[in-house]
Amino acid sequence: MDGWDTKRVFEIYGENMRDHICNIPIIHNGPDDQHIWFHNPNSVFSSKSAYSWLILKQGVEDDAKVTLERAAALSRDFQIFNLVEDPLLSRKTMTKAWQKLHQGVLKINFDASVQGKKVFYGLVAKDVDGFVHGGRMGFVDKELLIECVELLAMEESLNFSQLNNWKNLELESDCASLVNASIKGTNT
C-alpha cells in the first residue's frame, strides 16, 4: 500500500478527521514506528504524566505563577521529534524487565500530584494475578513540595496495608528521590 487507506480512516474517524489524517505525508524509508509518549522526557507513559497532560489540556486559566510552572513542566515533559532528520543526540537504550510478584505478595503502587495549593495522592493494591485488593485517594489543602506529597502517599500506603493486615508488600513509586532515599536507608 502506498498511502493512506482513506476508506478505513473514514470508517474509524469520520469525514473531517479523515481529511486531516490523510493530508499527513507518509515518509517511505523513514525511521521505524515506535511507541512514544511525547509527554515524558523518556517517552515512557505513566499515570502521573497522563494526569498532568489532561489537567494542562483543560485550559484552566490560573494566575501567572501557575502558568509559569505549567510552562516549565511542559518544557521538561514534552519532546518534539523531527522524523525526517536523524537525531543529533543518540537515544539512551535501557533494558528493563517486568518481574512477576511472588505468591502471597501484594504490590501497592502509589502516586501524588500538586495542583496549586492542593496536593493529591492515590494508591492501588494488587496481587500476583493483577486482582485489585483495594485503593485509596485523598488530598490535603496545603502547599507542599512534590517529594513531601509522595512521602505522604507512601505513608498512606503503609497505613492502608496495616489496616488490612497485609504483611508481604512491595511498594512502587515513580518518585526517584524517594526510592533512592529508601534504598540508601536499607543499605546502612
pLDDT at 162: 93
* pLDDT > 70: percent of the chain: 60
Residues in Cβ contact with 90 at an 8 Å cutoff, skipping those fewer than 6 apart: none
pLDDT at 82: 44
Other CB atoms within 10 A of residue 36 CB: 13
pLDDT in tens, 18-57: 888 888 877 777 666 666 666 666 666 666 666 666 666 6
Residue position matching grid coordinates 543518540: 90
For residue 164, name the pLDDT band (cuts at 50, 70, 90).
very high
User: What average pLDDT is seen over the chain?
Assistant: 75
User: Does residue 137 register a pLDDT over 50?
Assistant: yes
pLDDT at 19: 85
In this structure, CATH architecture of domain 106-187: 2-Layer Sandwich (3.30)
pLDDT at 159: 92
Domain ranges in the chain are: 7-77, 106-187
- Cell numbers describing residue 173: 513509586
d(CA 174, CA 153): 12
pLDDT in tens, 95-114: 666 677 788 899 999 899 88
For residue 161, name the pLDDT band (cuts at 50, 70, 90).
very high
pLDDT at 80: 45
pLDDT at 36: 65
pLDDT at 18: 85
pLDDT in tens, 173-183: 888 787 777 77
Cβ proximity of 178 and 145 under 8 Å: no
DSSP helix/strand/coil, 89: coil
Other CB atoms within 10 A of residue 30 CB: 10
pLDDT at 160: 92
Residues in Cβ contact with 26 at an 8 Å cutoff, skipping those fewer than 6 apart: 3, 4
